Chain A
Amino acid sequence: MLCSISDLLVEVPAKGGLSSLCREYLADDSRVPDIIIRPEEYRYPTKITVPEETVAYMESGVQFYRGLLQYGGMMLHASAVAYGGKGFLFSGPCGVGKSTHTNLWKTVFGEDAVVFNDDKPALRRLDDKWFAYGTPWSGKNHINQNIKVPLAGICFLKQGEANQIRRLPSLEALQRILPQTLRKRLSPEEGSLLLCHIDRLILEVPVFELENRPEEAAVLLSYESMRRAAEDLGV
């Protein structure tokens, strides 16, 4: 089945539960797909048995996000929230409180705040600007919407006793981004493309670290800091 994901035409196999995941992304287009996901190239774990649907979900994601590198884009492991027409990404290792933080945005801003991908949003640079997109690969709760918003900023979360935020210098931003994107399955050529995209990303999009408690005050701090930095950069 043909889908439109992050402004790319993607041929996705319907089997393995992907047809229901991609329902919102179906496209009617006669052009040649930009990315073709091939089930015959799925890698199956050798030591443990994993349900077919899990393999299809994981492996189709790997193929999509590898393909995305060829089109000025990359994946970031993050919970992504749209508010005021812009995208705010909260990243960090599993269990750090990404979904908790974006859920608190919904508490603070109500229905105007939309979590459009809770696990692996796509980032793309188009016409010198960065955009964040919802994709069907959005984690176990399948929280996603097929939307595109200008990327206001990226914030790495850290649990703490108080709420404080700081802008990350570029080398530190790079060190934080690398573990939260796809690397293990890349070829050296794809790795080089990834670094090329990150180089631009950290120059053009503000990156922060938020030490926070799971409370509404942390949302006001992250929102205000990210909004101001984005405005200063004209994002």
Chain B
Amino acid sequence: MKIKDGYVLRKVAENWVVLPVGKASVNLNGMLSLNESGVLLWQALKEESDRESLVNALLSAYEVSHDEAAADVDSFIASLVQYGCVDA
């Protein structure tokens, strides 16, 4: 999967935020706040990525178990699908 076009990721006032513009702002009226691991996953998803590569990205950046990383990835993907940022 991959993040659709029309999202801007930027640090504002010490917070990482995702701003939808153009058509993307129809699905998400406002913004998303991301934590550091969310930013890592978001950036990975700017390119086509599968679940396993995202889990591996978390494993190489943080000292977490495979199960914890997989759970993080699953909940992150679920949010992205819910807000329409990726194709399900």
Across the interface, which residues of A come within 8 angstroms of B12, CB to CB?
170, 174, 195, 198-199, 202
Residue-wise, chain A 174-210 has the 8 Å CB interface mask toward B (1 for contact) of 1100110001111110111011101100110000000
Across the interface, which residues of A come within 8 angstroms of B25, CB to CB?
183-184
Residue-wise, chain B 31-66 has the 8 Å CB interface mask toward A (1 for contact) of 101000000000000000000000000000000000
Residue-wise, chain B 6-43 has the 8 Å CB interface mask toward A (1 for contact) of 11101111110101111001100111010000000000
Assess the A188–B13 pair: CB atoms within 8 A: no
Across the interface, which residues of A come within 8 angstroms of B22, CB to CB?
184-188
A111 to chain B, nearest CB (A): 38
The answer for the CA separation of A11 and B9 in the assembled complex, in Å, is 33
How many residues of B sit at the interface, in one of the four size bands?
20 to 34
The answer for the CA separation of A194 and B12 in the assembled complex, in Å, is 11
The answer for the CA separation of A194 and B19 in the assembled complex, in Å, is 10
Assess the A195–B15 pair: CB atoms within 8 A: no
Asked whether A171 is an interface residue with its Cβ less than 8 Å from the other chain, the reply is yes
Across the interface, which residues of B come within 8 angstroms of A174, CB to CB?
12-13, 15, 17, 31
Asked whether B74 is an interface residue with its Cβ less than 8 Å from the other chain, the reply is no
Of A170, A174, A191, chain B has the most CB atoms within 10 Å of the CB of A191
The answer for the CA separation of A188 and B37 in the assembled complex, in Å, is 23
The answer for the CA separation of A179 and B33 in the assembled complex, in Å, is 15
Across the interface, which residues of A come within 8 angstroms of B68, CB to CB?
none
Assess the B21–A203 pair: CB atoms within 8 A: no
Across the interface, which residues of A come within 8 angstroms of B17, CB to CB?
174, 195
Assess the B8–A202 pair: CB atoms within 8 A: no
Across the interface, which residues of A come within 8 angstroms of B10, CB to CB?
192, 195-196, 199
Assess the B29–A179 pair: CB atoms within 8 A: yes
The answer for the CA separation of A187 and B30 in the assembled complex, in Å, is 16
Assess the B21–A186 pair: CB atoms within 8 A: yes
B interface residues with partner A (beta carbon < 8 Å): 5-8, 10-15, 17, 19-22, 25-26, 29-31, 33
14 intermolecular pairs with C-beta atoms under 8 Å apart: A174-B17, A174-B31, A179-B29, A184-B26, A188-B5, A188-B6, A188-B21, A191-B21, A195-B8, A195-B10, A196-B10, A199-B11, A199-B12, A202-B12
A interface residues with partner B (beta carbon < 8 Å): 170-171, 173-175, 178-179, 183-188, 190-192, 194-196, 198-199, 202-203
